[in-house]
Protein backbone atom coordinates (compact mmCIF):
# COMPACT_ATOMS: atom_id res chain seq x y z
CA UNK A 1 0.00 0.00 0.00
CA UNK A 2 1.24 3.52 -0.81
CA UNK A 3 1.48 5.98 2.03
CA UNK A 4 0.85 9.58 1.05
CA UNK A 5 2.53 12.29 3.09
CA UNK A 6 0.11 14.92 4.37
CA UNK A 7 1.21 18.23 5.84
CA UNK A 8 -0.81 19.16 8.92
CA UNK A 9 -1.45 22.77 7.95
CA UNK A 10 -1.75 24.48 11.31
CA UNK A 11 0.54 26.30 13.74
CA UNK A 12 -1.65 25.34 16.70
CA UNK A 13 0.05 22.46 18.60
CA UNK A 14 -3.27 21.26 20.05
CA UNK A 15 -4.79 20.93 16.60
CA UNK A 16 -1.60 19.31 15.27
CA UNK A 17 -1.81 16.63 17.97
CA UNK A 18 -5.50 15.94 17.35
CA UNK A 19 -5.22 15.90 13.55
CA UNK A 20 -2.26 13.50 13.71
CA UNK A 21 -4.26 11.17 15.98
CA UNK A 22 -7.33 11.38 13.71
CA UNK A 23 -5.24 10.62 10.61
CA UNK A 24 -3.88 7.44 12.19
CA UNK A 25 -6.97 5.63 10.86
CA UNK A 26 -5.93 6.33 7.25
CA UNK A 27 -3.11 5.21 4.93
CA UNK A 28 -1.28 8.55 5.20
CA UNK A 29 1.86 9.82 6.93
CA UNK A 30 1.24 13.12 8.73
CA UNK A 31 4.09 15.67 8.99
CA UNK A 32 4.08 18.94 10.92
CA UNK A 33 5.28 22.24 9.38
CA UNK A 34 8.23 22.40 11.80
CA UNK A 35 9.50 19.02 10.54
CA UNK A 36 9.87 20.59 7.08
CA UNK A 37 11.21 23.93 8.36
CA UNK A 38 8.03 25.66 7.17
CA UNK A 39 6.88 28.74 9.05
CA UNK A 40 3.83 30.32 7.52
CA UNK A 41 1.27 32.76 8.90
CA UNK A 42 -1.78 32.85 6.65
CA UNK A 43 -4.14 35.86 6.75
CA UNK A 44 -7.40 34.64 8.26
CA UNK A 45 -9.58 37.62 7.48
CA UNK A 46 -12.19 35.59 5.57
CA UNK A 47 -15.81 35.89 6.72
CA UNK A 48 -16.33 32.13 7.05
CA UNK A 49 -14.58 29.05 8.40
CA UNK A 50 -14.58 27.62 4.87
CA UNK A 51 -12.78 30.62 3.36
CA UNK A 52 -10.10 30.63 6.05
CA UNK A 53 -9.59 26.86 5.95
CA UNK A 54 -9.22 26.91 2.13
CA UNK A 55 -6.63 29.69 2.33
CA UNK A 56 -4.61 27.81 4.94
CA UNK A 57 -4.72 24.47 3.10
CA UNK A 58 -3.67 25.94 -0.26
CA UNK A 59 -0.95 28.16 1.25
CA UNK A 60 0.65 25.24 3.13
CA UNK A 61 0.31 22.92 0.12
CA UNK A 62 2.05 25.49 -2.10
CA UNK A 63 4.79 26.16 0.47
CA UNK A 64 5.57 22.44 0.78
CA UNK A 65 4.58 20.92 -2.57
CA UNK A 66 2.59 18.37 -0.54
CA UNK A 67 -1.05 17.60 0.10
CA UNK A 68 -2.08 19.68 3.12
CA UNK A 69 -4.89 19.32 5.64
CA UNK A 70 -6.09 22.53 7.30
CA UNK A 71 -8.99 23.32 9.55
CA UNK A 72 -10.61 26.53 10.63
CA UNK A 73 -12.64 26.20 13.73
CA UNK A 74 -14.44 28.25 16.31
CA UNK A 75 -16.80 28.47 19.22
CA UNK A 76 -20.34 29.82 18.74
CA UNK A 77 -22.29 30.95 21.81
CA UNK A 78 -26.05 31.09 21.22
CA UNK A 79 -26.92 33.90 23.65
CA UNK A 80 -24.21 36.04 22.01
CA UNK A 81 -25.61 35.42 18.51
CA UNK A 82 -22.88 32.96 17.58
CA UNK A 83 -19.96 35.07 18.83
CA UNK A 84 -16.95 34.67 18.59
CA UNK A 85 -17.42 32.35 15.57
CA UNK A 86 -14.77 32.48 12.82
CA UNK A 87 -12.87 35.11 14.83
CA UNK A 88 -12.47 32.74 17.80
CA UNK A 89 -8.67 32.89 17.67
CA UNK A 90 -8.32 36.64 17.13
CA UNK A 91 -11.13 38.61 18.80
CA UNK A 92 -9.14 39.30 21.99
CA UNK A 93 -6.12 40.71 20.13
CA UNK A 94 -2.80 39.23 18.98
CA UNK A 95 -1.21 39.03 22.44
CA UNK A 96 -4.10 37.17 24.12
CA UNK A 97 -3.52 33.58 25.23
CA UNK A 98 -6.02 30.69 25.29
CA UNK A 99 -6.37 31.33 29.06
CA UNK A 100 -7.13 35.03 28.46
CA UNK A 101 -9.83 34.16 25.92
CA UNK A 102 -11.42 31.58 28.24
CA UNK A 103 -11.47 34.08 31.13
CA UNK A 104 -13.03 36.77 28.93
CA UNK A 105 -15.75 34.39 27.67
CA UNK A 106 -16.59 33.41 31.26
CA UNK A 107 -16.73 37.10 32.21
CA UNK A 108 -19.11 37.88 29.33
CA UNK A 109 -21.40 35.07 30.47
CA UNK A 110 -21.29 35.99 34.18
CA UNK A 111 -24.75 35.58 35.69
CA UNK A 112 -26.18 33.81 32.60
CA UNK A 113 -28.13 30.75 33.81
CA UNK A 114 -27.22 27.23 32.72
CA UNK A 115 -30.06 26.84 30.23
CA UNK A 116 -28.89 29.96 28.34
CA UNK A 117 -25.24 28.90 28.06
CA UNK A 118 -25.73 26.80 24.88
CA UNK A 119 -22.77 26.77 22.50
CA UNK A 120 -21.21 24.71 19.77
CA UNK A 121 -17.86 24.13 18.17
CA UNK A 122 -17.59 24.19 14.39
CA UNK A 123 -14.70 22.79 12.35
CA UNK A 124 -14.32 23.20 8.60
CA UNK A 125 -11.55 20.92 7.27
CA UNK A 126 -9.95 21.22 3.83
CA UNK A 127 -7.62 18.88 1.99
CA UNK A 128 -5.67 20.56 -0.83
CA UNK A 129 -2.71 20.04 -3.09
CA UNK A 130 -0.66 22.90 -4.60
CA UNK A 131 -3.13 23.13 -7.52
CA UNK A 132 -6.35 23.36 -5.57
CA UNK A 133 -8.84 21.84 -3.22
CA UNK A 134 -9.34 18.06 -3.16
CA UNK A 135 -12.12 17.82 -0.56
CA UNK A 136 -13.71 19.68 2.33
CA UNK A 137 -16.13 18.88 5.12
CA UNK A 138 -17.58 20.35 8.30
CA UNK A 139 -18.33 18.97 11.75
CA UNK A 140 -20.03 20.45 14.81
CA UNK A 141 -20.17 19.60 18.51
CA UNK A 142 -23.04 20.91 20.65
CA UNK A 143 -22.77 21.67 24.35
CA UNK A 144 -22.70 24.53 26.83
CA UNK A 145 -20.25 26.92 28.43
CA UNK A 146 -19.32 25.92 32.00
CA UNK A 147 -19.38 28.48 34.80
CA UNK A 148 -15.70 27.94 35.61
CA UNK A 149 -12.66 26.24 34.13
CA UNK A 150 -12.32 22.52 34.60
CA UNK A 151 -9.69 20.01 33.39
CA UNK A 152 -6.11 20.11 32.18
CA UNK A 153 -6.34 18.38 28.79
CA UNK A 154 -7.14 19.64 25.30
CA UNK A 155 -6.47 23.23 24.27
CA UNK A 156 -8.23 26.48 23.41
CA UNK A 157 -11.74 26.64 24.87
CA UNK A 158 -11.85 22.96 25.96
CA UNK A 159 -11.66 23.79 29.69
CA UNK A 160 -14.92 25.79 29.54
CA UNK A 161 -16.93 23.64 27.09
CA UNK A 162 -19.19 20.83 28.33
CA UNK A 163 -20.29 18.59 25.43
CA UNK A 164 -23.89 17.35 25.43
CA UNK A 165 -24.22 13.98 27.14
CA UNK A 166 -21.20 14.48 29.43
CA UNK A 167 -21.05 15.93 32.96
CA UNK A 168 -17.60 17.53 32.50
CA UNK A 169 -15.62 19.72 30.12
CA UNK A 170 -13.73 18.49 27.05
CA UNK A 171 -10.49 19.28 28.90
CA UNK A 172 -11.45 16.73 31.59
CA UNK A 173 -12.04 13.93 29.10
CA UNK A 174 -9.26 11.65 27.83
CA UNK A 175 -8.03 12.76 24.40
CA UNK A 176 -9.34 9.52 22.81
CA UNK A 177 -12.84 10.44 23.96
CA UNK A 178 -12.63 13.99 22.58
CA UNK A 179 -11.29 12.52 19.34
CA UNK A 180 -14.36 10.31 19.00
CA UNK A 181 -16.95 13.04 19.43
CA UNK A 182 -15.36 16.34 18.46
CA UNK A 183 -16.27 18.72 15.66
CA UNK A 184 -12.80 17.99 14.22
CA UNK A 185 -13.30 14.21 14.40
CA UNK A 186 -16.58 14.53 12.52
CA UNK A 187 -15.11 16.77 9.83
CA UNK A 188 -12.16 14.40 9.27
CA UNK A 189 -14.43 11.38 9.18
CA UNK A 190 -16.43 13.10 6.41
CA UNK A 191 -13.17 13.38 4.44
CA UNK A 192 -12.70 9.63 4.67
CA UNK A 193 -13.20 8.87 0.96
CA UNK A 194 -10.70 11.53 -0.08
CA UNK A 195 -8.18 10.32 2.52
CA UNK A 196 -8.50 6.72 1.36
CA UNK A 197 -8.10 7.79 -2.28
CA UNK A 198 -4.67 9.20 -1.42
CA UNK A 199 -3.40 5.65 -1.10
CA UNK A 200 -4.46 5.08 -4.74
CA UNK A 201 -3.10 8.18 -6.54
CA UNK A 202 -4.51 7.09 -9.92
CA UNK A 203 -8.02 7.63 -8.59
CA UNK A 204 -7.34 11.12 -7.15
CA UNK A 205 -9.45 13.69 -9.05
CA UNK A 206 -7.25 15.63 -11.47
CA UNK A 207 -9.55 18.63 -11.88
CA UNK A 208 -8.57 21.89 -10.21
CA UNK A 209 -11.69 23.46 -8.70
CA UNK A 210 -9.92 26.76 -7.96
CA UNK A 211 -8.61 27.46 -11.47
P1 LIG B 1 -4.29 27.72 12.81
O2 LIG B 1 -5.04 28.85 12.14
O3 LIG B 1 -2.81 27.80 12.61
O4 LIG B 1 -4.85 26.38 12.46
P5 LIG B 1 -5.55 28.74 15.20
O6 LIG B 1 -5.39 28.46 16.65
O7 LIG B 1 -5.44 30.19 14.76
O8 LIG B 1 -4.49 27.85 14.41
P9 LIG B 1 -8.26 28.79 14.24
O10 LIG B 1 -7.99 30.00 13.41
O11 LIG B 1 -9.07 27.70 13.66
O12 LIG B 1 -6.91 28.12 14.73
O13 LIG B 1 -8.91 29.33 15.60
C14 LIG B 1 -9.72 28.55 16.36
C15 LIG B 1 -9.86 29.12 17.77
O16 LIG B 1 -10.77 28.25 18.44
C17 LIG B 1 -8.55 29.09 18.54
O18 LIG B 1 -8.60 30.04 19.58
C19 LIG B 1 -8.56 27.68 19.11
O20 LIG B 1 -7.81 27.58 20.32
C21 LIG B 1 -10.05 27.43 19.35
N22 LIG B 1 -10.37 26.02 19.07
C23 LIG B 1 -10.37 25.40 17.86
N24 LIG B 1 -10.64 24.10 17.99
C25 LIG B 1 -10.81 23.88 19.30
C26 LIG B 1 -11.05 22.74 20.06
O27 LIG B 1 -11.17 21.55 19.51
N28 LIG B 1 -11.16 22.88 21.37
C29 LIG B 1 -11.03 24.07 21.96
N30 LIG B 1 -10.75 25.22 21.32
C31 LIG B 1 -10.63 25.12 19.99
pLDDT in tens, 32-89: 999 999 999 999 889 999 999 999 999 999 999 999 999 999 999 999 999 999 999 8
Decide whether any atom of ligand 1 lies within 6 Å of the 120 Cβ: no
Q: Does the residue 40 lie in any domain? A: yes
Map residue 182 onto helix, strand or coil.
Answer: coil
pTM of the model: 0.94
pLDDT in tens, 79-135: 999 999 999 988 999 899 999 999 999 999 999 999 999 999 999 999 999 999 999
Domain of 86 in residue numbering reads as 4-199
130 CA to centre of ligand 1 in angstroms? 23
Q: Does the residue 205 lie in any domain? A: no
Helical axes 183-190 vs 13-23, angle rounded to 10°: 40
156 CA to centre of ligand 1 in angstroms? 6
CATH assignment of the domain containing 76: 3.90.950.10
Return the residue whose CA atom lies nearest to atom 1 of ligand 1. 10
Q: Does the residue 210 lie in any domain? A: no
Q: What is the number of domains present in the chain?
A: 1
Q: Which residues pair with 135 in a beta bridge?
A: 127
Catalytic residues: 72
Map residue 154 onto helix, strand or coil.
Answer: coil
Amino acid sequence: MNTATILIATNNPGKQRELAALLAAYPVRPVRPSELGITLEVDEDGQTYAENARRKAIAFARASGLIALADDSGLEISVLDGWPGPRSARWAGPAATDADRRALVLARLAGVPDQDRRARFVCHAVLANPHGILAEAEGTLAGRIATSEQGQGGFGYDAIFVPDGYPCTLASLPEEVKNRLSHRAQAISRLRDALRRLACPDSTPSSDPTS
